[in-house]
A and B are shown apart, each in its own frame.
Chain A
Amino acid sequence: MVWEHRDKAAIVGVGATPYYPRGQSWPRTTNEMIGDAILAACDDAGIKVQQIDGFAYYASAMAGYVDKMDTASLMEMLGIPEVTFTATLTSGGGGSAGSMGLAAAALIAGDATYVVTVMALQQAKQRLGTVFGALAPDPENSFLQPSGLVGPGHLMSVLARRHMHLYGTRREAFAEIVMSSRQNTLNRPGAMRRTPLTLDEYFAAPMLADPLCRLDFCLETDGAVAVITTTSDRALDLKQKPVYIHGAVHGGRAQWGRAFAWMGMPDEYFASAGNKSIADRLWAKTGLSAADMDVALLYDHFSPLVLMQLEDYGFCARGEGGAFVESGAIRFDGGSIPVNPHGGQLSEAYIIGMTHIREAVEQLRGVAINQVPDAELALVTGGPASLPVSGLVLRK
Chain B
Amino acid sequence: MSVTLSIAVPGDHIAISTNPATEPFWQAARERRLTACQCGSCGAFRMPPTPFCPKCQSKQLQWPTLPGTATIYSYVVCTRSPYPDVADFVYVPIVVDLDGAPGTRLVSNLVGVDPATVAIGQRVQVEWNPIQDGWLLPVFRLAD
Which chain A residues have a beta carbon within 8 Å of chain B's beta carbons? Answer: 130, 133, 136-140, 142-150, 154, 157-159, 161-162, 165, 207-211, 254, 262-264, 270
* Contact residues, B72-102 vs A (CB, 8 A): 73-80, 82, 91, 93-95
Residues in A whose Cβ lies below 8 Å from that of B18? 139, 142
Which chain B residues have a beta carbon within 8 Å of chain A's beta carbons? Answer: 9, 14-19, 21-22, 47-48, 54, 73-80, 82, 91, 93-95, 103-109, 115, 120, 131, 137
Q: Is the Cβ of B82 less than 8 Å from the Cβ of A207?
A: no
Q: Of B17, B54, B131, which is in contact with the most chain A CB atoms at under 10 Å from its CB?
A: B17
A-B contact pairs, 28 of them (CB 8 A): A137-B15, A138-B17, A139-B16, A139-B17, A139-B48, A142-B16, A142-B18, A143-B22, A143-B48, A143-B106, A144-B107, A147-B107, A147-B109, A148-B93, A149-B93, A154-B76, A154-B93, A158-B75, A158-B76, A158-B95, A161-B75, A162-B120, A209-B78, A210-B76, A210-B77, A211-B76, A264-B47, A270-B73
Per CB-CB distance, the 5 closest pairs between chain A and chain B, nearest first, are: A142-B16, A210-B77, A139-B19, A150-B82, A147-B93
Q: Is the Cβ of B79 less than 8 Å from the Cβ of A207?
A: yes
Q: Is the Cβ of A148 less than 8 Å from the Cβ of B9?
A: yes
Q: Of B74, B105, B120, which is in contact with the most chain A CB atoms at under 10 Å from its CB?
A: B74
Residue of A nearest to B89 (CB): A148
Q: Is the Cβ of A157 less than 8 Å from the Cβ of B76?
A: yes
Q: Is the Cβ of B22 less than 8 Å from the Cβ of A139?
A: yes
Residue of A nearest to B77 (CB): A210
Q: How far is the CA of A145 from the CA of B137 in the complex (A)?
A: 11
Q: Is the Cβ of B21 less than 8 Å from the Cβ of A148?
A: no
Residues in A whose Cβ lies below 8 Å from that of B120? 161-162, 165
Residues in A whose Cβ lies below 8 Å from that of B14? 145-146
Q: 7 new A-B pairs (CB below 8 Å) besides A142-B16, A142-B22, A209-B78? A: A148-B91, A165-B120, A209-B76, A209-B77, A254-B54, A270-B73, A270-B74
Residues in B whose Cβ lies below 8 Å from that of A262? 48
Residues in B whose Cβ lies below 8 Å from that of A210? 76-79, 115
